[in-house]
Amino acid sequence: MPHVAVGAASDVGRVRALNEDAYLAGDRVWVVADGMGGHAAGDIASRLAIESLSELDEVDELRPALLNVAVARANAAVVRHGMLHPEARGLGTTVTGLAEVIVGGTPHWAVFNVGDSRVYRYAGGELQRATVDHSEVEELLAEGLITAEQAREHPARHIITRSVGMRPAPSVDVWVLPQIPGERFLLCSDGLTSELDDDQIAAVLAAHPDATEAAEALVAAVLASPARDNVTVLVIDVRGGDDGAGDEITVPRNVLEGER
């Protein structure tokens, strides 16, 4: 696979008492999960999802179809927890990620998503969303009923239409992309995108070519705002062909629970 450098950062923000985000910075699989359900529930949902999806990192030749299987397994784990712990019923989590997969014998990237956490692709100085939010606001935008600016402050902006923890299990969006040296991927919870617009995110990425510095700078920019939600960011830089040196993974925060 291409040589990659990964930076990660997570923060509880300025309002919440608990960080319900979790992330996985693996060797070939990277995931952000944003838990829902309040104290003793949301953080458990995101942790359970990350634990299930971490098994993908052990697969020698990962196929895109296995992403659906892994998310379904994560969904079952979250649902089961809610059934065994009535006080946590209703818990759930978003899941968004990037994985190296094999298609036609050739390595590709697979972007996958359930909920309103996002994956972006940054290349040639341009930032593009690689996922579609599963939210009421996204549906209103698609129907042309509101503008992108109105969506940022819409009262339904935090209502999502798909999550891990639903019955029946949610469908998973999966996109397969070629691997291109020099590209950069950003995975984030909505704690980033609710405070910074795409132009602001792109400016931070442009100013910080180092993956770890970029991730930390994005979180710092959120903390300079009202920071009303937890925020978690992974930045994955694709550095070119495999030179035998292995992947450079920098993970400064707790992988499963972020920073409390």
Residue-wise pLDDT for 34-83, tens only, equals 999 866 699 999 999 999 999 999 999 999 999 999 999 999 999 999 99
Angstrom distance (rounded) from CA 120 to CA 189: 11
pLDDT recorded at residue 255? 39
Beta bridge partners of 129: 120
Is the separation of the CB atoms in 243 and 33 below 8 Å? no
What's the whole-number mean pLDDT along residues 234-259?
55
What is the H or E stretch that residue 169 is in?
Answer: none
**Structure-derived torsion over alpha carbons of residues 203, 208, 211, 213, reported in degrees to the nearest 10:** -110
pLDDT of 145? 74
User: What pLDDT, on a 0 to 100 scale, did the predictor assign at position 258?
Assistant: 43
- Residue among 183, 29, 1 at smallest CA distance from 106: 1
What is the arithmetic mean of pLDDT over 227-252?
Answer: 71
Check the CA dihedral 46-52-57-63 and report its sign. negative
| Residue 150 confidence (pLDDT) | 67
Q: Judge contact between 134 and 114, C-beta under 8 A.
A: yes
175 versus 151: the higher-pLDDT residue is: 175
**Residue 23 pLDDT exceeds 50:** yes
Tens digits of residue pLDDT in 73-123: 999 999 999 999 998 988 999 999 999 999 999 999 999 999 999 999 999
What average pLDDT score do residues 179-207 get?
Answer: 97
Domains and CATH numbers, the chain: 4-249 (3.60.40.10)
Distance CA(32)–CA(48), nearest Å, equals 12
More confident residue, 170 or 151: 170
